[in-house]
Structure 1
């Protein structure tokens, strides 16, 4: 099905060769083309994508970094295994945290060129999602498959369990995506938003309990335990593959789902569908909340207007 929000270039990609499509992307003014080395290969599994300043770090088949001139640089992959998730912090240029399929966190301090394993104390299971605290670049959160949410306050040197997995529809559910959101209604201004196989949930950094995203003063609702009123949530019962908050405008969120790319401008209370093409990963520029990129069924797509138009 054609996506009405996609431009001619991205819709046409299903009818031309992958090499021609990616080359056309790279030739566009101000656009970022994918590396031609993108393929299924040992090392960086993905798909995962994150901005490091103006550059993009991409794990899909291989591991690459955009060079600022429309090209890509191949990066070494962590020796400990394939990458499932990536996270960066706007206040710590060059630092990249990678969640590994074989278990553990790898940390790079040079933009992904070299890696050090930071897994002391973590369970030996896949790290399905990772995020860095919005206001503290040394605080990293990791979602462990079959376990829960873990936290490090020393850039991964040590870890402790922060929260069990959320209990949804009579069972604990794994976390599929994470983002730290700087909101005044959180304890200390921080909420951890999480995607699951059934939709969106969140927890304040007091780690009291998981709750639905809701309007008004969320801390009062957390204390009262009242169910959240439904406004315009993400599709119910659908897995969230990617989730990100704009660092320069924390209330602006993007989510990657099978049903497409979704956007919220009020911290996740009301969502609007910005693309109907299945999305696997999403990232937003740290200084421009309208500049978003995603990996979708149409390939690598980019929007400069908050998802209104895609190339």
Structure 2
């Protein structure tokens, strides 16, 4: 049966879907969906065809949206997405991760929830908020958000999360117990001599290498890092990049040594692509060297940014790579970044990009 590629796009004004066949030569855009809610993260489950959207804000409240027909119709639920009475209310759902029959949701202010009934009801994984360091967590620019959820492919008890600005935390017992895993990552914004704390780093994106669950990559506010021991220790891999600052990172679907980044020009220099020339940077040797891929991307007067969840790869051969900009442009490459085309423009600010391959 022919393959269909869906690029799932979360924006400030709803979810969109860009659709193509397996050749990825032409695209059709559908949307907006989810009643124009801000959609921070839209993900798909290729095994079932279900699509889920993390959404909400102070006005709408938090909810997870769901479509079982590739985006034609949607429902949503916030049942259980709440902290205990007296705690700061949840403003929005920021991130989603699917593993086997469970769905995980990261929220603002930072916390982790789990659903075992396909998003109909949610339960709070309280161990993270009960961590002794919780009282000292500070918000990043977008607030105190849990934006990255990484699950172990073979052991459902192991989970890593990224929190701005608290750092990376890890559990080995399904969320009862957590420990910070930030050794080797900088926090340049702290006073001199306190730049390598146990927690308090501003992690921007956390991803796992395919086939190597102990290898993690992290784009941080203060550098680009790799860990080969599940986050116990981090080493800098930013040499050769145009900037130490950026938000998104996307792994190759099969090669643990290949990673795609889109650096920005710095935290206080505008937060747009360096020299106003767009490029996706790729490593094929786990960060030892980097190559900038620019063909088809704007090379003058480009002042767009790309946010932490707005870059993804698909599972085809060769892998497709996708990213969306703050200016509402959606770009795609069908050959692992060698050539690019703009497949949608004038969308609302793009907050997330994910790809799903299904049978047509």
- From the two aligned structures, give the one with the greater helix fraction: 1
* Partner residue, 2:336: 267
Distance 2:353 2:175 in 1: 18
Distance 1:245 1:54 in 2: 23
Distance 1:249 1:38 in 2: 42
Cα offset for 1:145?
1.4
Distance 1:111 1:252 in 2: 33
* Partner residue, 2:148: 86
Native 8 Å contact 2:220 2:247 kept in 1 = no
Cα offset for 1:290?
3.0
Q: How does 1:15-30 map to 2 (within 5 A)?
A: 18=60, 25=65
1:128 aligns to 2:204 (yes or no): yes
Cα offset for 1:9?
4.7
Native 8 Å contact 1:165 1:174 kept in 2 = no
1:58 aligns to 2:105 (yes or no): yes
State the TM-score, normalizing by the size of structure 2: 0.57
Judged with a 3 Å threshold, the aligned counterparts in structure 2 of structure 1 residues 109 and 239 are, in CA distance, closer, same or farther, namely farther
Runs of 4+ in 1 over 6 A off after TM superposition: 1-4, 27-30, 42-46
What are the ranges of 5 or more consecutive residues in structure 2 without an aligned counterpart?
A: 1-12, 17-27, 39-58, 138-143, 188-200, 265-272
Q: Secondary structure at the match of 2:214?
A: coil
Distance 1:43 1:10 in 2: 19
Judged with a 3 Å threshold, the aligned counterparts in structure 2 of structure 1 residues 278 and 68 are, in CA distance, closer, same or farther, namely farther
Cα offset for 1:161?
1.9
1:246 aligns to 2:314 (yes or no): yes
1:10 to 11, 25, 34: 34
1:115 aligns to 2:178 (yes or no): yes
Distance 1:26 1:163 in 2: 38
Native 8 Å contact 2:96 2:106 kept in 1 = yes
Distance 2:33 2:231 in 1: 41
* Partner residue, 2:140: none
Distance 1:115 1:68 in 2: 25
Judged with a 3 Å threshold, the aligned counterparts in structure 2 of structure 1 residues 22 and 109 are, in CA distance, closer, same or farther, namely same
Judged with a 3 Å threshold, the aligned counterparts in structure 2 of structure 1 residues 98 and 45 are, in CA distance, closer, same or farther, namely farther
State the TM-score, normalizing by the size of structure 1: 0.65
Q: How does 1:99-110 map to 2 (within 5 A)?
A: 99-109=162-172
What are the ranges of 5 or more consecutive residues in structure 1 without an aligned counterpart?
A: 214-227, 292-303, 306-311
* Paired residue total: 261
* Partner residue, 2:125: 75
* Partner residue, 2:10: none
Q: Please give the root-mean-square deviation of Cα atoms over the aligned residues, in Å.
A: 4.2
